[in-house]
Amino acid sequence: MFDLLDYASLKFIWWILVGVLLMGFAITDGMDMGVGALLPFVARTDTERRIAINTVGPHWDGNQVWFITAGGAIFAAWPAVYAAAFSGFYMAMLLVLFALFFRPVGFDYRSKIEDRRWRSAWDWGLFVGGAVPALIFGVAFGNLLQGVPFHLDDMLRAHYQGSLLGALLPLLNPFALLAGAISLGMLTVHGGLWLHLRADDPVAGRARTVVTRLAPAVALLFAAAGVWLWFGVDGYRVVSAPEHGALSDPLAKQVARAAHAWFDIYAATPAAMLAPALGLLGPIAAAALSAARRPGLGFLANALGMVGIIASAGLSMFPFILPSSIDPRSSLTIWDAASSQLTLTVMFVAVAIFLPIVLGYTIWCYANMWGRVTAEGIEAGSHSAY
């Protein structure tokens, strides 16, 4: 009944689906985080800040579901990756979680009291809730590309090198911080484009200035990361492994580290070059379109650039999900870290049914809550607006 696809195909499909969920999270909730990161800088008065907040107020909690769904999908599709990654990145995950706490309370409580200090404190809380997760997500990807210090024992239990309390500082290495800057920059640009599209002046004008200056820097940082990856970071390459449809056993393969290995897929499949091309051209096009006062097209261009940046990381690492820097054989790939065929099949059926419903409802929400947020509208709805 459930033998819709073979096991190897399901493993590959779920690699694509998890990537789509991460892209959906970056495009939707990343927009909210970008607005939060810009809030203290592009909106100077209380009314201006309420304008900025109300551009994302009706959508931020729905957008955050993409993040929760992506985490749940990783748990269900790759339980070994979920267990190992959430253990190794425990302190980083806690930092993200604590920063995200500021978002719901900030949105809900910020305008409850008409006190300048109260509202200013929550404005900076929304800044932390937007900027810190955006930075840490990029730092996590930067560490994945370098390898994570863990190994698997004979019982397939993950063991990490180093202490729990000291686990955060090694993650903040130079390459990872560069990746974090790319993540923070691209989400901030995305939030700026949203403000340019939805907010009234002068907030929209200041956001436009940020986009035109920051978006080219994102493209430059992305190019710099590619050069650094080529010259300074060894990649991983599977030397031998069981068939892709075999039962999951991470220790049944042989892995070697080699210079330029993260670029193998671009030589084997030239069409994969479309991803880094989008990552470079998307932010540049977004800056040009924003400067030309076409924020809608700029928003779309930047979204494509974000897809290109995220896809570049995923394609470069393929088929690896969680490489090990101290025991390459313990590295987890899409072929040897997956759940059972039945689990992947049931999940695939659920996605096929519910994803179109979720997308349809999301589009309906945006369509029915569309419009530019103005100072007049904020003042007229003082008891209902954020």
Extended beta strands in the chain, E state: 150-152, 158-160, 235-240, 254-258, 320-322, 332-333
Q: Domain residues for 346?
A: 7-380
Distance CA 44, CA 39 (A): 9
pLDDT at residue 238 is higher than 70: yes
Model confidence pLDDT, tens digit, residues 38-57:
999 999 888 889 899 988 88
DSSP output for 38-75: HHHHH--SHHHHHHHHHHHTTTHHHHHHHHHHHHHHHH
At 166 the pLDDT is 53
230 CA to centre of own chain: 23
Query: Which has the closest alpha carbon to 131: 142, 141, 123?
Result: 123
**Inter-CA distances, 23 with 20, 30, 62, 133, 258, Å:** 5, 9, 15, 15, 29
In a domain, 29, yes or no: yes
The mean of the pLDDT values for the chain is 89
In a domain, 265, yes or no: yes
The pLDDT score that the predictor gives to residue 167 is 62
Q: Which two tokens stand for residue 179?
A: 């990746």
Structure confidence by residue, pLDDT tens digits, 78-124: 998 988 887 778 888 888 889 989 988 888 888 888 888 998 999 99
* Structure confidence at residue 297 (pLDDT): 95
Residue 180 lies in a domain: yes
Percent of the chain's residues with pLDDT above 90: 53
pLDDT recorded at residue 165: 56
Domain count of the fold of the chain? 1
Residue 1 is assigned to a structural domain of this protein:
no
In a domain, 2, yes or no: no
CA atoms in the 13 A half-sphere facing the CB of 69: 23
Q: Which residues of 59-93 are buried (b: 16+ CB within 10 A; e: fewer)?
A: bbebbbebbebbeebbebbbbbbbbbbeebbeebb
Is residue 109 in a domain?
yes
Does 61 score more than 90 pLDDT?
no
pLDDT at 179 over 90: yes
Would 318 be classed as within a structural domain? yes
pLDDT of residue 126: 92
Residue 363 domain flag = yes
